[in-house]
A and B are shown apart, each in its own frame.
Chain A
Amino acid sequence: MAAKTLTIDGTQVSAEEGATVLQVARDHGIEIPTLCHLEGVYDVGACRLCLVEVAGIAKLLPACTTKISEGMELKTNSERLQKYRRMTLELLFAERSHVCAVCVSNGHCELQTLAYSHGMEHVRYDYCFPKWKVDVTHRLFGMDHNRCILCARCVRVCWHIEGAGTKNVSGRGASANIINDLNQPWGQSDSCTECGKCVMSCPTGALFHKGSTVAEMVHDRDKLEFIVNAREKKQWIV
């Protein structure tokens, strides 16, 4: 494959054709914040946290789904981007009900960590406080839609790592939500293999092991990476 040369934040880099901006940036030690991106599954560009500026294009583009091209000039951390990222984070908080202090993921949450690192001291928008029912019908796991950011990581790991296809996104816009099978209570799903990969993949406290109390839910992403490496690269390195 041909190599492409591009500039990221003023630094010239070259990378293989077909790589995404996110991959190339990370390969060169440039951190771009992400939420819906998950190593091991394809990207969907759902969260818009990884937006970057591309010279000559007015729109901001998601780094995770944008392929590199020759001569591309990128900015990954401009003031404009910081402003948008904060806004995006605030909107994610306002859309559902996040009460970190009593959340199972408090202290181990990607959304919370990003909010801290982006200096989000408060949310400028009114909280919507939608009334989503918590699903604790499953023997092992629980799902609290009130904390879901609709990143669809759980859907992708369920389909493409486990291959069960239990999880799906239903509805549009603010009423979109994660469902099991044909929108059944999780405990009644026929396809769920109880593997727990969705729980491992979730960036927030939306998916949890039943019985978890405040701050107790730590999502183990390494296991997912291990499985993917083992399957695709035939490497069994823990």
Chain B
Amino acid sequence: MSKRIVIDPVTRIEGHAKISIFLDDDGNVSDAEFHVVEFRGFEKFCEGRPYTEMPGITQRICGICPVSHTLASAKAGDALMAVNIPPAADKLRRLLNLGQFIQSHALSFFHLSAPDFLLGWETPQSRRNVFGLIASNADLARAGIRLRQFGQEIIETLSGRKIHPAWAVPGGVRTALSEEGRKKIRGWLVEAYLTTQTALDLFKKTLQNHQREMQIFGNFPSLFMGLVGPDGTWEHHGGKLRFTDSTGSIIADQLNPQKYFEFISESVQGASYLKSPYYQPLGFPAGMYRVGPLARLNVSEQMGVPKADAELKHFKRMGHGAVTSSFLYHYARLIEILACLEWVERYLEDPGLSSRDLRADAGINQLRGVGASEAPRGTLFHDYTVDRGGLLQKVNLIVATGQNNLAMNRTVAQIARHYLGAWNDDEIPEPMLNRIEHGIRCYDPCLSCSTHAVGQMPLHVRLIAPDGKVMAEAARG
């Protein structure tokens, strides 16, 4: 007879993380499930709307990564119109995405994750957050907050802060980068580099103290997926898809993201509302893959910019073939911030960004269009089917958190296995809760709970026996 452990939202508030940990007959952890309530009904809600409204509508799916959705949506629109957007528009969209990466990664690292590993796992929750970080390392915390501001500044400079218009639109973008905007962005760069470098040094130093975390926070073989350029260079908005395995071998390369449905299948499992996609040729669950910073760095041969390339070399040495520990998502995130800064600097030198040729004009030329873009958390797909006039008939969104769902489950199981041993207690050990929380945070899942109450993730963990009986539970709001 095996048992089950659940971490459930205490009061089913949207965005709370509910975790079930399954025990086998001997009380060992056999499996875990991380459930999220997300996206229900959204795809239905869009049906009947013109595709041109989608970049505006979808950026409201999620308050945390609106830019990613608006970009993927605009790209899906390009596909429906069957146009190549003007080169300046592509660069401007990229610049916007870089801004989004910087702000999102800075939030994840400095506000949400750093307090855990810089302040120590056993620090009480009330202090293990960005405020605690400010108290103990004010300079770093402040620099982190400013780095995030810089990312937001790029977004605002491009798309305007007024009524949150969809600036990236089917066919291109609405406005160019002004000379003034260019100056403003450039003015931040020195400081941003400095902060990123400091964080990188600090992270690498603390890694020595986190060997155990590296071992148990989602360290397992899996596939990795991300967009890459034709020569395997890191991509974040264009390019084609590449899958590698945990030995670092390329399983498939230059797959057309528009045809994702030919090689990615989705399984909707158990009580989880998230769809769990897998690489179809390998079947389920062998086709499980991870997306996001760790995956992107694993599939990329180079970042295409010197400073980040030097870091990438260092990163690659941390694995045999691929870097398989999800704890190193944090490191990958920092390297990506560095790459983003270098790419931003490059784009600022590009006179093309002031071009007035920003938008391709066309009607509907294709009834199905897929837009794929890298969001900070991983590859994002918007798949639209429209009628002749451009009204949506069907919408399918594949989000990063869904793609990482299986990996998050395994991470939770791995951590639980380590901390529970053979469970025969009545209590769920507190250190385990902290670690599970962080294990999930490595993926920076896009749930409202991941930013809820700065640094505290509302969790509900339950241990469940094979007969479905709840053996123990622990909750925290």
Contact = CB atoms under 8 A, between A and B. Distances in A.
A136 B50 contact: yes
B388 to A, nearest CB: 8
A213 B52 contact: yes
B362 to A, nearest CB: 9
A193 interface: no
B57 A102 contact: yes
B389 A214 contact: no
A51 B194 CA distance: 64
Interface string A187-201: 100000000000000
Nearest to B392: A134
Interface in A119-168: 131, 133-137, 139, 142, 144
A102 B165 contact: no
Contacts of B389: 135-137, 142, 187
A113 interface: no
Given A106-B163, A134-B48, A216-B165, A210 B363 contact: yes
A212 B390 CA distance: 12
A136 B53 contact: no
Given A101-B164, A107-B163, A213 B56 contact: yes
B391 A136 contact: yes
A101 B390 contact: no
B191 interface: no
A115 interface: no
A104 B49 CA distance: 12
B60 interface: yes
A104 B163 contact: no
Contacts of A144: 50
A18 interface: no
A211 interface: yes
A134 B165 contact: no
Given A134-B49, A142-B50, A214 B391 contact: no
B361 A211 contact: yes
A214 B165 contact: yes
A136 B55 CA distance: 18
A214 to B, nearest CB: 3
A102 B60 contact: yes
Which of A101, A131, A211 has the most chain B CB atoms inside 10 A of its CB? A211
Contacts of B391: 133-134, 136
B56 A214 contact: yes
Size band of the interface chain B makes with A: 20 to 34
A135 B387 CA distance: 11
Contacts of B55: 213-214
B164 A134 contact: no
Contacts of A136: 50, 389-391
Contacts of B57: 102
Interface in B168-203: 169-171, 174
Nearest to B56: A214
B166 interface: yes
A215 B163 CA distance: 8
Nearest to A136: B389
B60 A213 contact: no
A63 to B, nearest CB: 31
B164 A213 contact: no
Contact of B56 (A102, A107, A135, A142): A102
A144 B52 CA distance: 13
A144 B390 CA distance: 13
B166 A214 contact: yes
Nearest to B58: A102
Given A136-B390, A215-B163, A102 B48 contact: no
B369 to A, nearest CB: 15
A131 B60 CA distance: 22
Contacts of B390: 136, 210
Contacts of A139: 363
A42 to B, nearest CB: 32
A102 B361 contact: no
Interface in A180-227: 187, 210-216
A31 B111 CA distance: 52
A92 B182 CA distance: 44
A133 B48 contact: yes
A133 B361 CA distance: 25
Contacts of B48: 131, 133-134
A80 B394 CA distance: 48
A210 B171 CA distance: 13
A93 B476 CA distance: 41
Interface in B36-86: 48-50, 52-53, 55-57, 60
A213 B173 CA distance: 11
Contacts of A131: 48
Contacts of B53: 102, 104, 213-214
A212 B361 CA distance: 11
Given A102-B56, A102-B60, A136-B390, A213 B163 contact: no
Interface in A49-107: 101-102, 104, 106-107
Interface of A: 101-102, 104, 106-107, 131, 133-137, 139, 142, 144, 187, 210-216
The 4 closest A-B pairs by CB, nearest first: A214-B56, A136-B389, A213-B169, A215-B165
21 contacts: A101-B56, A101-B163, A102-B53, A102-B56, A104-B52, A106-B163, A106-B165, A107-B162, A107-B163, A131-B48, A133-B48, A134-B391, A135-B389, A136-B50, A187-B389, A210-B50, A213-B174, A215-B163, A215-B165, A215-B166, A216-B174
Given A104-B53, A134-B49, A215-B56, 14 more contacts: A101-B163, A102-B60, A104-B52, A106-B165, A136-B390, A139-B363, A142-B389, A211-B52, A211-B363, A212-B52, A213-B53, A213-B174, A214-B166, A215-B166
